[in-house]
A and B are shown apart, each in its own frame.
Chain A
Amino acid sequence: MSEHEYVPKSKAAKWFNDRLPLLTLGAHLTDYPTPKNLNYWWTFGGILTFCLITQIVTGIVLAMHYVAHADLAFASVEHIMRDVNYGWLIRYIHSNGASMFFLAVYIHIFRSLFYGSYKSPREVIWIIGLMIYLLMMAAAFMGYVLPWGQMSFWGATVITNLFSAIPLVGDSITTWLWGAYSVDNPTLNRFFSLHYLIPFLILGLVVLHIWALHVPGNNNPVGIDIKKPSKDTVPFHPYITIKDAFALLVFMIIFAGFVFFTPNVLGHSDNYIPANPLVTPAHIVPEWYLLPFYAILRSVPDKLGGVILMFSAIFILFVLPWLDTSKVRSAVFRPIYRQFFWILVIDVLMLGYVGAMPAEGIYLVLARVGTIYYFLHFIVVMPVVGYLEKTDPIPMSISEPVLIGGAEPSLARKVNDKV
């Protein structure tokens, strides 16, 4: 938060700002003191905002041509692809945009895990972020149903049937979700309605996410509390905006690479077959960003148990700030946790891989090992390592390691040499 009170220069601006202090908000966002050592892992907040806006804009346009009816949906998507001017481009941006959105959100989440951004005083930012992530998964799932291809239909069937595992009321809940006795036209209609709604809920949560962020300010790679503003901070504009803009440009190049050169590589060819309630495709696979959870679901040889474990895998993240007992935020100064962090990354990637493979043989074994480790990491490793670990000395300020030596001797030495 900037210390000085903002006063608009022109009389008209002052008149308006006295009535609605939008200019004060703008000034706050511009001057917002940001740690000067933020690295490129911190650019994904801006990238994610871009992704959300891209999905909303392309989605609104697609809704002008799409028909949410079981008999017409598939054909209307093909109509978008073949007849609508630039329809192919807009749809490919929207469908690949979902993947890019998740790619960015996973990097954003793992950045938070590495640098301890979820820890006090930033628990609420973390929890709002997870709520956004849950809504993203719901939006992506429902969006995948809309083209009404084979994967749409059977993905919807499998996911909605997860609720039938609930004892006693499971079947009633599933029927209620469907609005029919199977996935059918009423299901498609309501999924379209909700798919349109959720991005705006996400937008609202993003505002809260950023608001909550601006109370304590950004965490940083060193993970220490800093004075704001001070020589450890720079104004958000132009320092962070230009860095974010450069990262966004690189991200957009990758995005465009998918859209223009391999627009279907992340999808499944079965979804170009119209939905058929009589035939299930041989391999039902969710989109790549849900695969780790799918692997956890399939690793349990019990219906209810699998469903409970899969949801637990997400909900355990909500209590993460209280499972982590370490006082030190950044893994840079946590030699033991740092290694477990990378094991977790490998574990989640492995779960994603086996989630795409048939649930048998070695894949099933790997899925079980991966699932057990995933939960061990949060329930055992995080509390125990935080308690036992001998952390490296942390610097007093961001400037310290450079100016007077500290955690990074190589940098300190360089400065000393000059002197």
Chain B
Amino acid sequence: MSKEEKKVNRRDFLFTASYTVGAVGVGAVIWPMIDQMNPDKAQQALATTEVDISNIEPGKSITVLWRGKPVFLKRRTSDEIAEARAVKLDDLPDPQKDEDRVKEGKDEWLVMLGVCTHLGCVPLKDKGDFNGWFCPCHGSHYDVSGRIRKGPAPTNMEIPKFEFVDSNTIKIG
């Protein structure tokens, strides 16, 4: 009798096949229940924003809303650009050249997500120890290029995908 039990028989095959089909079925039902929570078509439709930048004076910045998040557009002065480029990469927790954070030939325009990479607060401009931004929530300091210098934030403020539609218009997204 024990010999027969050890043998793989038709019932074992039926069990395995039933469990497999059952698992696929359960998965097929669960996935829509999970995926429905991801951004819907209406949210995805808000994916680009066009901004008129003709009125921004050097040294000034504006904040626009893109996908529910603030985006900082700063027209930097040549002093500020020089300051950002003078920083040694060794001094940065998340080393990145200022040149890599702007479009070539449009160095005065810093376009970045105004979202602290720590826990998502909006940093305050012209504050902090590095002449850039300061996040009031947990004390992260960013420099004039939006790079993290001090505090709990792990990375530099994110640069979104953007392009210059013409010399006065930026398209974000």
Q: Which residues of A contact B (CB under 8 A)?
A: 154, 157-158, 160-162, 164, 175-184, 186, 190, 277-284, 298, 300-304, 306, 358-360
Contacts and interface: CB of A to CB of B under 8 A. Distances in A.
Contact of A277 (B38, B40, B43, B65): B65
A184 B65 CA distance: 12
B154 interface: yes
A359 B139 contact: yes
A158 B68 contact: no
Given A158-B137, A359-B138, A180 B68 contact: yes
B69 interface: yes
Nearest to B64: A278
B119 A161 contact: yes
Contacts of B135: 280
Contact of A306 (B39, B68, B139, B152): B152
Chain A interface SS verdict (over half): loop
Given A154-B121, A158-B119, A158-B120, A176 B67 contact: no
Interface of B: 34, 37-40, 43, 63, 65, 67-70, 117-122, 135-139, 151-154
A412 B69 CA distance: 70
B118 to A, nearest CB: 6
A183 B122 contact: no
A183 B68 contact: yes
Contacts, number: 88
B70 A278 contact: yes
B119 A157 contact: yes
27 contacts: A157-B120, A158-B120, A161-B120, A162-B119, A164-B120, A175-B39, A176-B37, A176-B38, A179-B40, A179-B43, A181-B43, A182-B69, A183-B68, A186-B40, A277-B68, A278-B63, A278-B70, A280-B121, A280-B122, A284-B121, A284-B137, A298-B138, A300-B152, A302-B154, A303-B152, A303-B153, A359-B139
Closest 9 A-B residue pairs measured CB to CB? A182-B68, A181-B67, A161-B120, A161-B119, A280-B121, A158-B119, A280-B122, A157-B120, A182-B69
A302 B43 CA distance: 32
A279 B137 contact: no
B40 to A, nearest CB: 7
Contact of B69 (A181, A281, A284, A302): A181
Contacts of B67: 180-182
A109 to B, nearest CB: 27
